[in-house]
């Protein structure tokens, strides 16, 4: 498979050639055709399933992975800054944006491993090697899991607003009690639209810029309510603390101020438990610096990569 790196992903599927002057035996030709169709269909379905878009002129891929209730559009102020030096890759998690919603499997996506498997499949199709992964919010742990399963695929991880576990535990501060998370999930289940309108502005912060809260609210509201509820459960009930020491990729934690989803102590826990990782503190407030402070976010990523 060959991809045009100069624009949104355009893939041409190729396979071993048969010399023009050689007539292969019928059985061999049939096997060759079947193999070609199999890989073409699988490649096409993976890229279409996650609405993959690739641009840029670099040889190393930089992959941007969005958080809960969002889609790849949330990277529109950040990803273009890296097109000159990297092959930038944007995609939607299944159930988000314009992904193939028919591919949504409640069992598969009941844990973050299902999303990590999707990420790996995309990487295999596009031939990632030593790629830079940029993951926001829950996608930070999706990237962590994928890098552990396929260490040669990811050379660097940029984790923006990460949390290894959202619920407090003995000796661990996640930022929420079990009761608070249960209340959050019940509110989402009872009134998806109302929950979105109340939570999105609080999550993004920056009350002096109400347009940011409106954009995140609209993004939340566009998500199918049943899928949003399950993704919220998968996100807020996850516990990836034991996975952090297994990461071998060079890792940067990007931490915002006044982040009600992942506070400084949460980000510092991730930093302290991924070997050799570092942390950059942004002046930006809230949980979505890719929207609220793209220039500062770009600077932090660029200094790391």
Q: Which two tokens stand for residue 180?
A: 């608070």
Q: Is pLDDT of 260 > 80?
A: yes
Mean pLDDT (the chain, rounded): 87
Of 23 and 222, more confident: 222
Nearest C-alpha neighbor of 5 from the set 84, 113, 72, 75: 84
Asked if residues 154 and 128 have their Cβ atoms less than 8 Å apart, the reply is: yes
Tell me what pLDDT residue 30 has: 47
Q: Read out DSSP for 214-244?
A: HHHHHHHHHS-HHHHHHHHHHHHT-B-GGGG
Distance of CA 92 to the CA centre of its chain: 8
Closest CA to 49 of 125, 118, 108, 100: 100
Smallest CA-to-CA distance from 215 within 152, 292, 160, 284 is with 292
The CATH-assigned architecture of domain 60-304 is: 3-Layer(aba) Sandwich (3.40)
Return the pLDDT at 44: 58
- Range 72-98 average pLDDT: 96
Q: What is the pLDDT of residues 29-51, one digit of tens each?
A: 444 334 333 433 445 599 999 99
Q: Where are the domains of the chain?
A: 60-304
The predicted pLDDT at position 222 comes to 86
Q: What is the pTM of this model?
A: 0.85
**3-state DSSP assignment of residue 191:** coil
Give Cα separations from 139 to 70, 116, 169, 218, 235 (angstroms): 11, 9, 22, 20, 9
3-state SS class at 86: coil
Mapping DSSP onto H, E and C, the string for 9-27 reads CCEECCCCCCCCCCCCCHH
Three-state SS at 189: helix
Strand residue runs (E) in the chain = 2-3, 11-12, 53-56, 61-65, 87-90, 131-136, 154-160, 250-257, 278-285
At a CB cut-off of 8 Å and minimum separation 6, what does 30 contact?
none
Q: Assess whether pLDDT exceeds 50 at residue 26.
A: no
Catalytic residue list: 137, 259, 287
């Amino acid at each position: 498979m060959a991809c045009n790196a100069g624009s949104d992903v355009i893939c041409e599927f190729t396979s071993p050639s048969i010399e023009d002057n050689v007539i292969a035996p019928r059985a061999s030709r049939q096997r060759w055709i079947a193999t070609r169709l199999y890989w073409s269909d699988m490649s096409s379905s993976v890229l279409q399933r996650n609405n993959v878009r690739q641009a840029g002129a670099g040889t190393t891929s930089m992959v941007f992975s969005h958080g809960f209730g969002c889609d790849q559009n949330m990277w529109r102020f950040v990803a273009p800054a890296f097109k000159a030096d990297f092959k930038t890759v944007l995609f939607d998690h299944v159930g988000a944006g314009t992904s193939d919603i028919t591919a949504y499997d409640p069992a598969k996506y009941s844990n973050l491993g299902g999303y990590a498997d999707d990420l790996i499949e995309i990487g295999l199709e596009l031939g990632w090697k030593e790629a830079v992964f940029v993951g926001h919010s829950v996608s930070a742990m999706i990237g962590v899991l994928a890098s552990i399963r396929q260490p040669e695929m990811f050379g660097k991880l940029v984790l923006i607003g990460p949390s290894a576990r959202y619920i407090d535990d003995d000796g661990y501060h996640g930022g929420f009690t079990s009761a608070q998370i249960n209340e959050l999930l019940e509110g989402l289940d009872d009134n998806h639209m109302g929950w979105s309108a109340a939570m999105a502005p609080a999550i993004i912060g920056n009350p002096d810029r109400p347009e940011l809260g409106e954009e995140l609210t609209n993004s939340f509201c566009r998500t199918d309510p049943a899928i949003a509820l399950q993704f919220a459960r998968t996100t807020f009930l996850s516990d990836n603390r034991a996975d952090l020491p297994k990461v071998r990729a060079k890792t940067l934690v990007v931490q915002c101020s006044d982040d009600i989803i992942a506070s400084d102590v949460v980000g510092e826990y991730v930093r302290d438990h991924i070997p050799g990782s570092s942390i950059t503190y942004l002046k930006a407030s809230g949980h979505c610096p890719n929207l609220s402070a793209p220039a500062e976010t770009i600077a932090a990523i660029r200094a790391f990569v």
